[in-house]
Every structure is written in C-alpha cells, then in structure tokens.
Amino acid sequence: MDRREKGDALYREKFIAFGLCEKFEYIGREWSLPHDKRFWSRCKACGAEFLSWNEVFKGRQSRLICPKCGAASNGSSMFTRTEKAKDAAALYASGMEQEEIALHVGCSVSDVGNAARFYGVRDASRKARGVSKSNHKRMAKKEATLSEELAGRGLELVGHWCGKRNKATIRNIRTGELLTRSGAGLCDHPSIKRRAERFASAKVDSGITISKLVAMYGEKCYICGKQTDFGDKRWGNYGPDYPTIDHVVPISRGGAHSWENVKLCCAECNVRKGNRPLLEVLI
C-alpha cells in the first residue's frame, strides 16, 4: 500500500469515527493541494460533492456542512452557509419582498431574513417602509388571534400589540382597568401541555385553554365555588382569584392533559391542591 492509499484509509477511518458517515459519504483526499489538507465528501441529502478542511478531525471545526443544501453532520440545518442563502440575500438587497424571495429561492420566509442578517444586507427603501408586507400580514394575523383570545378572558386589546417585544396594553372589560402585559401574560401558558408530553403514558389533547374552560364551565372555581377574575394581579402576574387550569388527577400521578381531566380552578385552590388527588383536598 503506497502513501496515498494509506492516507485515504486513515481519513476514511477518521470520517467514520467522527460519525460523519450518517449524513455524508467519504470520497477521498485531494492531493493536488499543499500539505494534503482537504478531502472530498458527498452529501447524502442532495448529492452535492464538496471539499472540506481536515480541521473537522482535530476538533477545531464543530461540524461538516453541505454548501448546497445546508445539511450538517450534527443533524441541524445551516441555510445561511448555502448558495441559496447568498441568492436570497442579494434579492433582499434589491428590494424584493420576503415572500416572493422564499418562493423564488425555495426556502422559508424566516430563512430569507436570517440570510440577510448573516450577510449584513441592509436595504434603505425597505427600512423607510418600516416592515415588509409579509411581516405586516403575519403581525395582523397574530394580533387578531390575540384579540380573540383576550376577549374570551374578559379583556380587550387597547391600541396595537408590539410583536417585537410581545407587549400590549389591555383593558378589563368588567372593571375598565388598564393593564400592561408582556410575554406569557398575554395568552394561556403552553407549559402545561409540554409538561404532560413528558409523560409517555399521559394523553395530551390540543387546544385546551383557560378561555375555553370558562366558556364550558363558567367562571366559578370547581373546588371552592368562588368567582374567578382575570383582572386579579395581587401576586404579580396573577392573584388568588385568577382562573387557572387544574388537572383533577395530577399529571405527575398519571393524569392526562385531556378535556375529561381538566377543570377551571382559582389560583389559590390550585396552589393549595398541588399534585394531591382531589379527595385529599376536600377532606
């Protein structure tokens, strides 16, 4: 076995040892370059062949990336490193709208914005317009959804919702009180569903919100029977009378995040109940 065959065999072993063969196929070393510091690979996703430095074998390069489709050896996607990203950034600089660029290049709208930021593209005319048409559409859709969600909770949106900071001024329809809320305080918390999904045996129904529970069961707590109030913020983001979702059989005890197992409960009773069964609380 000559020197080149030994070098190819060594690189192939390293290629397999570093787990690169899952996404890429090793072709061979490039001997025409000085010091033999590059090798050829083929992307299994798109079939593109490309050269890479052997720094990936020394731990100085975190992953192997396909320059055509953006596939990476660690399973992620690096769209900004592809030729499509360069084309998207150039079209963005020309003033074309993001939705049109996405259809033309064949990527998502968010990928277009990421490519523009990655290559430092700034479009003065776009900045003068404020937000692109596609962003206006998405923000208007989110604002309409937020208004519908707040209406079910006895609140209404005052002015415009700030999508950048996820902040808005809302009014309690019953009392007329003005409130400023941001982040998760604007809508129902999705953390309950994520917590239920961690239990493999638990059933998870989508679309369970406080607003829908109020529409189904009314605004009274199913444990103590008192009237709940979305405007109660005595504890910060919520107060003892604030309506919450309670699982009759706690998730940590095998309960399901399903319509059959959820009830409207005031925050005070929810905290007092904790993860105990309902019978232990009522006794």
Q: Are strands 262-266 and 178-182 parallel, antiparallel or unpaired?
A: unpaired
The pLDDT of residue 123: 64
Alpha carbon 191 to chain centroid, angstroms: 13
Tokens of 11: 């690189």
Helix, strand and coil percent figures for the chain, each rounded to 5: 40, 20, 40
Evaluate whether 170 touches 155 at the Cβ level (below 8 Å): yes
* Amino acid of residue 98: Q
- One-letter identity of residue 120: G
* pLDDT for res 165: 58
Tokens 């064949």 correspond to what residue?
Answer: 106
How would you write the pLDDT of the chain (283 residues) with one tens digit per residue?
677 788 778 888 888 887 788 888 888 888 776 655 678 888 887 888 888 777 666 655 557 777 777 777 766 666 777 778 888 888 888 888 888 888 888 777 878 888 888 777 776 555 555 545 556 666 677 777 777 777 766 778 777 666 555 677 778 777 777 777 666 555 555 566 666 666 655 677 877 888 888 888 889 999 999 999 888 888 777 889 999 999 888 887 888 888 888 999 999 999 888 888 888 877 6
* Contact call for residues 71 and 47 (beta carbons, < 8 A): no
Q: Provide the edge-to-edge strand list for the sheet that holds 167-172.
A: 155-162, 167-172, 178-182
Q: Look up residue 99 and give its two tokens.
A: 């939705």
Burial label, 17 (beta-carbon count in 10 A; 0-12, 13-18, 19+)? exposed
Separation between Cα atoms, residue 66 and residue 102, nearest integer Å: 20
Residue type, 108: S
CA distance 146 to 149: 5
* b/e burial code for range 186-195 (CB count within 10 A of at least 16 → b): bbbeeebbee
Query: What are the start-end ranges of the E strands in 69-223?
Result: 155-162, 167-172, 178-182
Q: Three-state SS for 189?
A: coil
Integer Cα distance of 212 and 231 in angstroms: 17
Go through 256-283 and write b for each residue having 16 or more CB atoms within 10 A of its CB, e for each that does not. bbeeebbbbbbbbbbeebeeeebeeeee
As given in the structure block, the two tokens for residue 121 are: 């593209």
Digit-coded pLDDT (tens) for 58-106: 655 557 777 777 777 766 666 777 778 888 888 888 888 888 888 888 7
Q: Which helix (H) or strand (E) holds 50?
A: strand 49-53
9, 20 in Cβ contact below 8 A?
no
So what's the pLDDT on residue 22? 80
